[in-house]
A and B are shown apart, each in its own frame.
Chain A
Amino acid sequence: MSETAVVEEKEVKVESNLIPIFIMGKKYMVPDSLTIMKAMEYAGYKFIRGAGCRGGICGACATVYRKPGDYHIRVGLACQTVVEPDMYLTQLPFYPANRATYDWNELKGEAEEVYQAYPELFRCLACNACTKVCPMDVPVMDYIAAVKRGDLEKAAELSFDCIQCGLCATRCMGEMAQYHIAQMVRRIRGKFLTPHTDHIGKQVDAIADGFYEKFMDEVKALGTLDPFDQSNVSEGVAKLKELYKAREGEPHTTDETWRPQSDYALLGE
């Protein structure tokens, strides 16, 4: 009896939580627990563009909205932002921002190459609209300032959280596409500015050369392993457990100088 009552109450609650939102000016009643993307789908919209990972990473679903009585243009990712009563919104499926073409093989990794690809970056007025609009809290104005002074390393670092949603470009007075500029800068950092990871190449070569085969052979030699058969724990499983417990791992608190001691790890030569 009491159980049924609770269920009924829940059902009633769902009904009462429909809230009005305005999608491109038209009013829809949607459940208040939904994200903008799900609310739009609930209202009957089908996403052909402007939806991707649905996990807040791909940056495909940039959305612009405003709340009643507030002049602020607010933004969010449709897949992450929960609807609020009376929000006026539109989702931006695409923005025609300038994306330069450059021959990756001919670049030398200099700031001048970014200037050649995107000379409009010198039109930045430091109005900071880009930073204010960024759903990822990237300091956009600051990384453009860093590119201007030729500090690509810093620009790459400051723009690291960018998800390429392009909202910065929609608000820019200088009409530049900050996010494409930042991507070029991060590509340059990846190719030219960060040290080459020689050890990974060595590791790959070692795998190809069969360096790890002997360890596999060691494990195979332990006999038939059936970890699910707990009634008859074989000698092999016991040995494997021992090996596993004795394995060498990086301690939780350590510094960059830590190197594995055992011979199965090639890391750090």
Chain B
Amino acid sequence: MVDTKAQPARTASSDRLTLAVLLSFVLPVSCRYTNEDQSMPYTLSDRTIDMDFIEKVEFISGQPLKKCMQCGTCAAVCPMNETTQLTPRHVIHFTQLGQKDVVLASNTHWVCASCHTCEVRCPRGLDIPKIMEALRQIVLRSNKNFVEPNKMTKEQLAEAPQLAMVSSFRKHTA
């Protein structure tokens, strides 16, 4: 499941060392949550860890991802619990591990309404909504919309207050 052999072969940067530690301790737990049938294990190796992705998320969000200690408070208080495919804790974990495809395939960063409930309660002082924003921005900046304004129904456009459209388009269109 974890291809640790590839790790020592290369000169390990401090980031990679941290990752190796994270891999050996916490990965099996997260796999259980997200990959229930265990039929498709995540392989972590130099080739599957996207360091650029980790750096980009940290740069856009300004949040040091390593600060997260995986306590799960964010997951407990998130009002979108019922709809999200990964909890915020999982999102951060998979981002720490550079699993860009896993993170971006989930709907969590789109469902996040930037309500800051998790930010107020995070014992490590992480601004989690900023991490979600970074994930949205990574997709939106490649000119991919999540919401298509011209596919909204006439009824919706006539009825919804202006600030709903303004905020939705700011968060969900490129």
Chain A residues with a Cβ under 8 A of chain B: 112-113, 115-116, 119-120, 122-123, 148-150
In the bound complex, residues from chain B placing their C-beta under 8 Å from that of A123 are 149, 169-170, 173
Asked whether any CB of chain A lies closer than 8 Å to the CB of B67, the reply is: no
B150 close to A (CB within 8 Å): yes
Whether B165 contacts A122 by the Cβ 8 Å rule is yes
Tell whether, in the assembled complex, residue A115 and residue B157 are in contact, meaning their CB atoms are under 8 Å apart. yes
Shortest CB-to-CB span from A184 to chain B, Å, is 14
Contact A122 B154 (CB under 8 A): no
- Are the CB atoms of B158 and A112 closer together than 8 Å? yes
Contact A122 B158 (CB under 8 A): no
Q: Is the beta-carbon distance between B158 and A148 smaller than 8 angstroms? A: no
Interchain CB contact under 8 A, B162 and A148: yes
Q: Does B166 contact A (CB under 8 A)?
A: yes
8 additional contacts (CB under 8 A) given A112-B157, A115-B165, A122-B169? A119-B152, A122-B149, A122-B162, A122-B165, A123-B170, A123-B173, A148-B162, A149-B162
B162 cross-chain contacts in A, Cβ below 8 A = 115, 122, 148-150
Interface residues of B in 127-154 (CB under 8 A from A): 149-150, 152, 154
The DSSP consensus for interface residues of chain B is helix
Beta-carbon contact of B169 and A116 below 8 Å = no
CA distance A116 to B165 in the complex (A): 12
Question: Which of A115, A120, A149 contacts B158 (CB under 8 A)?
Answer: A115
B157 A119 Cβ-Cβ under 8 A? yes
User: B149 contacts which chain A residues (CB < 8 A)?
Assistant: 119-120, 122-123
Taking the nearest CB of chain A, how far is it from the CB of B129, in angstroms? 20
Chain B residues near A122 (CB-CB < 8 A): 149, 162, 165-166, 169
A113 to B155, CA, bound (A): 10
Nearest Cβ on chain B to A183's Cβ, whole angstroms: 18
Collect the chain A residues with CB atoms within 8 Å of residue B166's CB.
122, 148
**Can you list 21 A-B pairs with a CB-CB distance of less than 8 A?**
A112-B157, A112-B158, A113-B158, A115-B157, A115-B162, A115-B165, A116-B157, A116-B158, A119-B149, A119-B152, A119-B157, A119-B165, A120-B149, A122-B149, A122-B162, A122-B169, A123-B149, A123-B170, A148-B162, A148-B166, A149-B162
In the bound complex, what is the Cα–Cα distance between A148 and B161 (angstroms)?
A: 10
Determine how close the nearest CB of chain B comes to the CB of A106; give it in whole angstroms: 11
Whole-angstrom CA separation of A142 from B158 in the bound complex:
22
A148 neighbours in B (Cβ, 8 Å)? 162, 166
Q: Chain B residues near A112 (CB, 8 Å)? A: 157-158
Which residues of A lie under 8 Å from residue B154 when comparing CB positions? 116
Task: Give the top 9 A-B pairs by smallest Cβ distance, nearest first.
Answer: A119-B149, A122-B165, A112-B158, A116-B157, A115-B157, A122-B166, A123-B169, A116-B154, A120-B149
CA distance A149 to B165 in the complex (A): 12
